[in-house]
């Protein structure tokens, strides 16, 4: 229990009885240099019932109803006194705010900001007398996770969810009415994990944290975009004899999720060579190229290759 405070005002009758004492004997009349004063204060009215002391409230606790509402409870350290009330103050508010002036526990406080630290102080009040405060701190349940990042088709994805305040630990779920997670992603504990199996944007994803007391808080509505993977199309290197034009074909690399080019390539790229049948013997860097084409869940990137022309075979 913290120390008690004395009266803030003079709303009661005060009687002063003054004794002048010298050498341990009461003396009437003139003041002596060695004298000292004893002052006895007597209180009348309701304050007299307290013996000029109000005991501090004890066992102050804060229990949440949801992310924005709490119930503040306490126990009076003695029998209730006639006219005694309890003042409950919240800080910050943005300034200190008296949220209750109650005859007894508890007190309900609503409109909190999720994830914010608050301090509640409970003080016993009787007339102008106030007990010492018994403060306790509380953090409103809130989400602290970063917004989801973009994902890529066929690439492992992980997002860790986090919350603060309330009564941990936390359980995560999709909030009622939320859009489903993108194909290939699942909610596992406090993480969104998986490998995306389709491209595109999924809007309206709302995740919910539930703490041990059953209070809940939802994330903002998120959008998760799964970008296409990169499919590299390399023009095949060629070696041909002089007098014969080379044949260039596409070589695919970077396929994901067990995909096969024959399935996902919906429009084959066109591959050509700048080397002709009449091109002289030699090696020609970047002579072979591919362009165009399309593939489901992929963006195509073209890579050129060289063409080599050998001498024509001799005729016997």
Q: DSSP states of 116-178 as a string?
A: -EEEEEEEEEETTEEPPPEEEEEE--EE-PPPPPPEETTS-EEEE--EESSSS--EEEEPTTP
- Specify the pLDDT at position 58: 85
| Other beta carbons less than 10 A from residue 303's beta carbon | 14
Check pLDDT > 80 for residue 69.
yes
Token look-up 């406080």 returns 109
In whole angstroms, what is the distance from residue 130 CA to residue 120 CA? 16
Choice between 1 and 308, residue whose per-residue pLDDT is larger: 308
Give residue 97's Cα distance to chain centre.
26
Which among 243, 253, 240, 237 is positioned nearest to 289, based on CA atoms?
237
CATH assignment, 58-139: 2.60.40.10
Biggest CA-to-CA distance, the chain = 154
Residue 314's pLDDT band, with cuts at 50, 70 and 90, is confident
Among 33-47, 118-132, 187-201, name the one with the lowest average pLDDT.
33-47
pLDDT value of residue 209 = 95
pLDDT at residue 182 tops 50:
yes
Token pair in block for residue 190: 């406090």
Question: What are the CA-CA distances from residue 313 to residues 241, 246, 270 (Å)?
Answer: 7, 16, 30
pLDDT band at residue 147 using 50, 70 and 90 as cut-offs? confident
Q: What local confidence, expressed as pLDDT, does residue 44 receive? A: 34
Please give the pLDDT value at position 184: 97
| CB count in 10 Å sphere of residue 183 | 15
pTM, whole model, 2 decimals? 0.70
Instruction: Give the pLDDT of residue 97.
Output: 84
3-state helix, strand, coil split of the chain in percent (to 5) is 5, 50, 45
- 95 — pLDDT class (breaks 50, 70, 90): low
Mean pLDDT, the chain, rounded, equals: 82
Mean pLDDT computed over 213-236: 95
Mean pLDDT in residue range 21-44: 31
pLDDT of 143 above 90: yes
**H-only helix segments in the chain:** 261-264
Residue 197 predicted with pLDDT over 50: yes
The whole-number average pLDDT for the span 237-249 is 97
pLDDT tens digit sequence for 200-223: 999 999 999 999 989 999 999 999
Answer whether residue 86 shows pLDDT above 80. Answer: yes
Which comes out higher in pLDDT, residue 284 or 4?
284
Q: Do 5 and 132 touch, CB atoms closer than 8 A? A: yes
Residue 52 reports pLDDT greater than 50? no
Structure tokens at 267: 């429009």
pLDDT at 137 over 50: yes
Q: State how far the alpha carbon of 262 is from the alpha carbons of 163, 171, 258, 297, in Å.
A: 46, 44, 12, 14
Q: Which pLDDT belongs to residue 23?
A: 36
More confident residue, 223 or 136: 223
Stretch 285-303: mean pLDDT: 98
The pLDDT of 36-56, averaged and rounded, is 42
- Residue 151 to residue 297: CA distance in whole angstroms: 12
Among the CATH numbers 3.40.309.10, 3.40.640.10, 2.60.40.10, 3.90.550.10, which is that of 142-227? 2.60.40.10
């Amino acid at each position: 229990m913290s120390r008690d405070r004395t009266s803030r005002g003079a709303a009661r009758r005060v009687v002063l009885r003054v004794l002048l004492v010298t050498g341990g004997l009461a003396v009437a009349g003139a003041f002596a240099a060695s004298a000292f004063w004893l002052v006895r204060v007597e209180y009348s009215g309701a304050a007299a019932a307290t013996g000029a002391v109000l005991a501090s409230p004890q066992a102050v606790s804060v229990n949440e109803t949801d992310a924005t509402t709490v119930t503040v409870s306490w126990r009076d350290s003695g029998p209730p006194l006639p006219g005694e009330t309890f003042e409950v103050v919240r800080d910050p508010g943005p300034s200190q705010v008296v949220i209750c002036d109650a005859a007894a526990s508890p007190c309900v406080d609503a409109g909190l900001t999720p994830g914010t630290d608050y301090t509640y102080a409970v003080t016993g009040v009787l007339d102008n007398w106030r007990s010492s405060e018994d403060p306790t701190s509380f953090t409103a349940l809130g989400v602290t996770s970063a917004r989801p990042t973009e994902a890529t088709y066929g690439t492992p994805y992980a997002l860790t969810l986090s919350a603060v305040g309330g009564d941990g630990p936390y359980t995560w779920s999709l909030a009622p009415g939320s859009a489903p997670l993108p194909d290939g992603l699942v909610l596992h504990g406090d993480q969104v994990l998986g490998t995306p199996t389709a491209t595109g944007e999924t809007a309206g994803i709302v995740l919910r944290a539930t703490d041990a007391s059953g209070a809940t808080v939802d994330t903002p509505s998120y959008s998760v975009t799964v970008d296409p993977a990169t499919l590299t199309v390399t023009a095949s290197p060629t070696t041909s004899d002089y007098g014969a034009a080379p044949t260039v074909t596409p070589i695919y690399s970077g396929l994901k999720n067990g995909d096969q080019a024959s399935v996902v390539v919906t429009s084959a790229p066109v591959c050509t060579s700048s080397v002709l049948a009449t091109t002289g013997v030699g090696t020609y860097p970047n002579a072979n190229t591919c362009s165009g084409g399309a593939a489901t869940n992929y963006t195509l990137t073209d890579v050129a290759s060289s063409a080599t022309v050998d001498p024509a075979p001799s005729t016997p």
